[in-house]
Amino acid sequence: MTIDPMKAQDVWKDVGQHVQFTVLKLNRKDQAAERETIEEFADRYQAILRSLRIRDADGDLKAAFGFSNAAWDYLFPDAKKPKELETYETLSGPKYSMPASEGDLFFHIRAKDEAVVYEAISQFRRFLKDVTTVVDETKGFRYFEGRAIIGFIDGTEAPQIEDAADYAIIGDEDPDFINGSYAFAQKWRHNMDFWNKLKTEDQEKAVGREKFTDLELEDGEKFKNAHNVASKAEINGVEQKIVRMNVPYSDPASDNTGTYFIGYSRHWTVTKMMLKNMVEKSDYLLTFSDILSGQLYFIPSRPLLDSIAEGEL
């Protein structure tokens, strides 16, 4: 049994121009009613996407919808569970930590046209608002040249689009959940005044790459806790990869600017290893950033969403 990217949700390509991340919490007042609503929504969700792709054929709408471990246990207590699905708990290092946050349902919507993003999440909420509460809603955007808000090209170390599916989509190691994915969502807030006062040379040493060309620096030219050093994960000497679709977000009037990190992976253990390395090595990015949220979600395949809709879990 091999992966089939066409049966997966949109977890392996297309960062998008206009982006929205929404995290919802189940009200947990009536388990049977809430499960019934989610079963209906599993079908409605896919129908809404099909409709909007017809209505705006050039919008390039992409979406992913998933469940946290807590939500899976609550909604489907008698069902099997993805092998690596767990509740993310705060990771701490010598100086910094990456806190966990609550969340049951997760949406990652992106398109060329913000109106399509708006319409998608608005229609989703019509079916979910009676059984959920909004935990967080963050609008992201594509910055110049696909750069992070700190001015460096983002995603250089991510796999090429031709290879990305193999890194993002669960395979036959977990056949009941093949073509699903593990999504880790984490919201960073940056102290841009601190960052912008650094000399370009120091920024480059902090990231580990040249700012303009994006060429990687030699190891001796980087800070010991440079981002591309601290975030590297290796198993038996082989560097591990995930699919990143990070985007900037900003509300300049309130001085709230940061990065929404979203990583899709075939193995949650790989993403978790990267996060542990970052806090243990005090990744330089943490020196001017606050982590506002973080949680792991399982993104079901489209056939599994159909099974949920049919009440088969």
Cβ neighbours of residue 308 closer than 8 Å, sequence gap 6 or more: 38, 39, 42, 76, 300
Residue-wise over 200-237: b if at least 16 C-beta within 10 A, else e? eeebbbbbbbbbeeeebbeeeebbebbbbbbbbbeeee
How far apart (Å, rounded) are the C-alpha atoms in residues 40 and 309? 6
CA 79 to chain centre: 25
CB 150 within 8 A of CB 195: yes
Strands 132-141 and 91-92, bridge-based pairing:
unpaired
How far apart (Å, rounded) are the C-alpha atoms in residues 290 and 69? 25
How many C-beta neighbours within 10 Å does residue 62 have?
Answer: 22
Q: Which of 96, 94, 73 is nearest to 85 (CA)?
A: 73
Q: Which of 103, 58, 154 is nearest to 292 (CA)?
A: 103
Which residues are known to be catalytic?
154
User: Locate tokens 């809404």: which residue?
Assistant: 48
Tokens of 281: 């090595």
How far apart (Å, rounded) are the C-alpha atoms in residues 263 and 280? 19
Q: What is the DSSP string of 172-213?
A: TTSGGGTT-EEEEEEEEEE-HHHHHHS-HHHHHHHHTB-TTT
Tokens of 32: 């049977």
Q: Which of 206, 182, 152, 6 is nearest to 81 (CA)?
A: 182
